[in-house]
Structure 1
């Protein structure tokens, strides 16, 4: 990368001291408000979250993308940012929403994969969203502590959230002025806009499209009226130029796997909303024709399908409707090509989900529980499959409130936390583990090679 190739991409990270302070409200509102001004905005999310990027995409008009050092490795974070911010067209600004608290990352790894970690990797200033409920001058002490905890992370401004009154706002502004941190916006308790939530976060955009559009419009109105957008742009422009080359899916997979272009069906629609934009980019770069299939509505796999990818989502919410589409279930049960299934896909391929018949391709039943399974995993492939070979190490994450009985097959997919997980049956690889293929792009190439065979 030469100096001439460096890109002075304005960018900032929207962070908070903890979850629930209003990061998604501010980040989504900023994306929509800046787009209204005629700017091309690139939306990003720290961590493995699938739901927030859906709202980001709706606000920005282009795919929401994830930046997660655990899933893709530290060296790929900045290249993936540059790729996302330049695809399909170069952005005028990138807005990156953080995860949890500013310094919260992988458990026991001293902030690895935290918002602060990503802010350092992409050399971006932080806009801190602060819930000021029941706080006065102590809010400044909190910001001062966050700033001092890691001096390499630059907190360039604060948006006050849930402010109680004009007097409360004045007190907060005075306190933050004492420590030299500018206030770029203030949202009152009565003005805040929220989106409906579910047990794993917000309700995905695809499940409530008209309502989601209304929410995003309201967030744009909110941010426009309460945040100094010019000051936000000025802060974003203080980011250092990006000197890394953009991530390239074609380079990552080593080019097309063959001269033919097999059809790879990727599940979509309201029941399968969890996917990373890079998955289809890698499959396409490896030589596949990627076609979306909606298991709620499509009666059969796309014509000529040679491989299937069933990602994550909320199939438990749509169990009856998935079950009612008996023709597609039968099609998948009889399909003899390679299939990769994560979480929702795992449940869909089983015999039943909450008593509703599913595809019956895997010999398990699934049900909801009261326990949330959530966290990063360091997994090892137990056996060979269309996408992995025995002994390969992959980093992923789990995110579910369901269990399968049994929890794994005679040939498990993975081993992590001293236990076996998932199923490898014939050409099917299925488990609860979510992975980001930008972190192991060979999976996309192997799937396309298996589809060609």
Structure 2
């Protein structure tokens, strides 16, 4: 198995478009496993789309080194090439003085060669100074190649390439011209999710154009020469080994409105004897199951469709009232409130628009509000269907959930905002919903408690 990591010198360097195109090109002749640094859903959905394999997330804020190796090995069983896409700039992390949560920490933990994408717009020799600084900042990070982006002509390319290769001693394996086709559609939290059916055709057209450009301007053979070669894993680590028997069903909301899941979740559920049963809160009836998970997404973009599926909303409210365990994150939290209010002025609205949601929790969701994004840390009480324990995760949202004053909360955050006053994880019966996104592999014990709760309550 060959493996490498592609990162950028900053956010907006073009690493996502470039990584997608390289993964698509290599997938034509190889089995390619994609990975994404940090707790992110959008980029992984596209990496999954171009490779046909579930992208896995790697994050040193929520994972220690042994767990990261296990997650990496689980994804890489039987593959030819593993490609890790970084997040933001190479050294950006959770704080200013350590590399926790950074791409650099993942590169060092997994000992991966790094290809640095540099936004070279308007710089030539200065690009060499930039790369040299990245090399010197942490010599333990093995930067072994450079891809220049936003190149404006042959003279620009030749000057920047010559300067980098002379001063830094590493090859420039690609120089991408400044083209409008290299841009991917953006939304308030990132790229438009791949699972939105309306976007798939547009995406395939865009990725075809980007892949053509990358194929013409990146030396793929040289990239593979830089890649590290190791034996491919042959079996899943113990954490992800499927159970011998399956005795419960977990309904998982999955459609264009709810699709923010880490793919490790489904392996963990199967390892704990649970069968994931996928359903659409927009299009389906609620399936019979012993518990339910409603992940994040963009329910505000499908508020009308969610409201129209009255049978689904009523069924969710009923199973919650009956004590069936439900776990919801962010978009799922929004769906479980009574009312979703899209405020006047947002997306050219002339007045507030109100949409009825499932109503498990008394209160409403308002949008937009100031964006909240960042890591969270906290502890869960035994009020939660996931049990008590410490956790680290992430929150990102443009909404404000306002619940009744007597609402109980299972999470107390030491880092992060949550629903209110550093409280998150609203609890009602055996239902818990919060803004916190958990990486399931980082808290397998909490998800084991959830599946056990589903067994005991059925």
Question: Is the contact made by 2:74 and 2:240 (CA closer than 8 Å) also made in structure 1?
Answer: no
Match of 1:421 in 2: 424
1:73 to 64, 86, 107: 64
Residue-by-residue CA offset, 1:142-185 (whole Å, 9 max, x unaligned) = 00000000000011111110101101000011101212120111
Q: Which structure ranks higher in relative contact order (CA pairs < 8 Å, sequence separation ≥ 6)?
A: 1
Q: 1:213 to 1:243 in 2, by over 3 A?
A: closer
1:375 aligns with 2:374: yes
Inter-partner Cα distance in structure 2 for 1:63 and 1:407: 39
> 1:113: Cα distance to partner?
1.5
Inter-partner Cα distance in structure 1 for 2:96 and 2:408: 31
Q: 1:118 to 1:110 in 2, by over 3 A?
A: same
Inter-partner Cα distance in structure 2 for 1:104 and 1:408: 38
Question: Is the contact made by 1:124 and 1:240 (CA closer than 8 Å) also made in structure 2?
Answer: no
Residue-by-residue CA offset, 1:100-120 (whole Å, 9 max, x unaligned) = 110001124512110000000
SS in 1 for 2:252: strand
> 1:324: Cα distance to partner?
1.0
Match of 1:312 in 2: 296
Gaps of 5+ in 2: 342-353, 415-420
1:285 aligns with 2:271: yes
Q: 1:104 to 1:240 in 2, by over 3 A?
A: farther
Match of 2:239 in 1: 249
SS in 1 for 2:373: strand
1:404 aligns with 2:407: no
Q: 1:39 to 1:250 in 2, by over 3 A?
A: closer
SS in 2 for 1:185: strand
Question: Is the contact made by 1:413 and 1:431 (CA closer than 8 Å) also made in structure 2?
Answer: no
Match of 2:347 in 1: none
1:156 aligns with 2:153: no
User: Equivalent residues in 2 for 1:319-338 (5 A)?
Assistant: 319-335=303-319, 336=322, 337-338=324-325
Gaps of 5+ in 1: 1-8
Question: Is the contact made by 2:127 and 2:160 (CA closer than 8 Å) also made in structure 1?
Answer: yes
> 1:14: Cα distance to partner?
0.6
Match of 2:46 in 1: 55
> 1:213: Cα distance to partner?
2.0
Inter-partner Cα distance in structure 2 for 1:103 and 1:239: 25
User: Equivalent residues in 2 for 1:127-206 (5 A)?
Assistant: 127-179=115-167, 180-190=169-179, 192-206=181-195
1:273 aligns with 2:259: yes
Inter-partner Cα distance in structure 2 for 1:231 and 1:408: 61
1:263 aligns with 2:249: yes
Question: Is the contact made by 1:162 and 1:192 (CA closer than 8 Å) also made in structure 2?
Answer: no
Judge which range, 180-189 or 375-384, deviates more.
Answer: 375-384
Q: 1:139 to 1:108 in 2, by over 3 A?
A: closer
Q: 1:387 to 1:140 in 2, by over 3 A?
A: same
1:296 aligns with 2:282: yes
Inter-partner Cα distance in structure 2 for 1:408 and 1:429: 16
SS in 2 for 1:320: helix
1:28 aligns with 2:20: yes
> 1:385: Cα distance to partner?
2.1
> 1:242: Cα distance to partner?
7.7
Question: Is the contact made by 2:181 and 2:209 (CA closer than 8 Å) also made in structure 1?
Answer: no
Match of 1:116 in 2: 104
Match of 1:6 in 2: none
Q: 1:317 to 1:295 in 2, by over 3 A?
A: same
SS in 1 for 2:82: strand
Q: 1:407 to 1:283 in 2, by over 3 A?
A: farther
Normalising by structure 2, we get a TM-score of 0.90
Question: Is the contact made by 1:136 and 1:172 (CA closer than 8 Å) also made in structure 2?
Answer: yes
Inter-partner Cα distance in structure 2 for 1:160 and 1:407: 53
Q: 1:324 to 1:243 in 2, by over 3 A?
A: closer
Normalising by structure 1, we get a TM-score of 0.91
User: Equivalent residues in 2 for 1:212-223 (5 A)?
Assistant: 212-223=203-214
Inter-partner Cα distance in structure 2 for 1:408 and 1:161: 52
Q: 1:155 to 1:387 in 2, by over 3 A?
A: same
1:45 to 36, 44, 57: 36
Inter-partner Cα distance in structure 2 for 1:221 and 1:330: 49
Residue-by-residue CA offset, 1:389-431 (whole Å, 9 max, x unaligned) = 2xx1100100101011138863212111472223011100110
Question: Is the contact made by 1:351 and 1:359 (CA closer than 8 Å) also made in structure 2?
Answer: yes
1:394 to 379, 391, 395: 391
Question: Is the contact made by 1:41 and 1:94 (CA closer than 8 Å) also made in structure 2?
Answer: yes
